[in-house]
Amino acid sequence: MDAIFEKVTEWIKEILINAIMGNLSGLFEAVNTQVGGVASAVGTTPDNFSPDIFNLIRNISETVLIPIAGLILTFIAYYELIQMIIEHNNLANFETWIFFKWIFKTFVAVMIITNTFNITMAVFDVAQHVINASAGIITADTTIEASALEAIEESLNNMNIGELMVFLLHTFFLQITMCALAIVIFIIVYGRLIEIYLMVSIAPIPLATFANKEQSQIGQNYLRSLLAIGFQGFLIMICVAIYAVLIQSVSFSDDIIGSIWGVMGYTVLLCFTLFKTSSLAKSVFNVH
């Protein structure tokens, strides 16, 4: 009778252990997939990420917004001319150079509008160079090693059925949570790319304000915003590098449940810091 009880107990334990190991093997897979693709995602310029979307944004901007930017530039150019005339006492103190200055400023403003996408892409090319250069230095493995899973399985064999059932519930809950965190990471990383497309699409209007000293603050703030969202990718890379170091420092030999919850805690921390990269980058570049 005892032998039958032992066989049944071993059979139940085997089922529970296989279920737990199945949960653990796929527990971090979704997160690791998203984290592993961060470097390529944040290091991609808008024209390379999705050429079809980029061409669509460019066509809309050139056909709809550049004419509006031209109207804004025309108004600013006439306003500048009137201001210069008034400043020189209605031309009572006539100086020829002021007209050359006005023509030069207008010419530069027109060149900025006509080369809007070259300017915006130059900003992201610089950011991409920094991100790609850092990726080769700080990229680390965020996966849980096979030896750690083997150590977990050995520890599971020493548990009783009650402990295994509790541990199975833990892993089931953690698996759902980690999948949700993987979705959050996906939204943050790829949401940044959508935000870039939105900002690039409206580029002609703020860049049209550079011809006027007072209104040029709009264009300057826009360029700072481009730099902020571009270098946000670098901050995301730093977050992933820190996460990788923290994950590799977790030991699964002593307290298995505590270690797994610790890994989930680091993943939650990663999501939180990824959310903060946007506001941090804007504060660094003084974006209003």
Residue 181, pLDDT score? 77
Residue 71, pLDDT score? 87
Residue 241, pLDDT score? 80
The span from the CA of 165 to the CA of 15, in Å, is: 10
Contacts of 253 (CB under 8 A, 6+ apart): 151, 155
Residue 29, pLDDT score? 65
- Cβ-contact 120, 205 below 8 angstroms: no
Residue 91, pLDDT score? 58
Phi/psi of residue 82, nearest 5 degrees: -65, -40
H-helix segments, the chain: 2-27, 29-36, 38-42, 46-49, 51-60, 66-87, 97-114, 116-138, 146-157, 161-201, 204-207, 216-248, 256-284
Residue 228, pLDDT score? 92
Residue 170, pLDDT score? 75
Residue 225, pLDDT score? 92
Contacts of 139 (CB under 8 A, 6+ apart): 39, 237, 240, 241, 244
Q: Name residues of the chain where pLDDT drops below 70.
A: 1-8, 25-36, 39, 88-95, 135-151, 250-255
DSSP-derived letter for residue 212 is S
Residue 93, pLDDT score? 63
- Dig out the tokens for 140 from the structure: 């680390």
Dihedral over Cα of 54, 57, 63, 69: its sign: negative
Q: Could you read off the pLDDT of 15-70 as tens digits, one per residue?
A: 777 777 777 766 666 666 666 677 677 877 788 888 888 888 888 888 888 888 88
DSSP-derived letter for residue 144 is P
Residue 140, pLDDT score? 52
- Cβ-contact 276, 232 below 8 angstroms: no
Residue 36, pLDDT score? 67
Nearest to 244 by CA among 27, 35, 71: 35
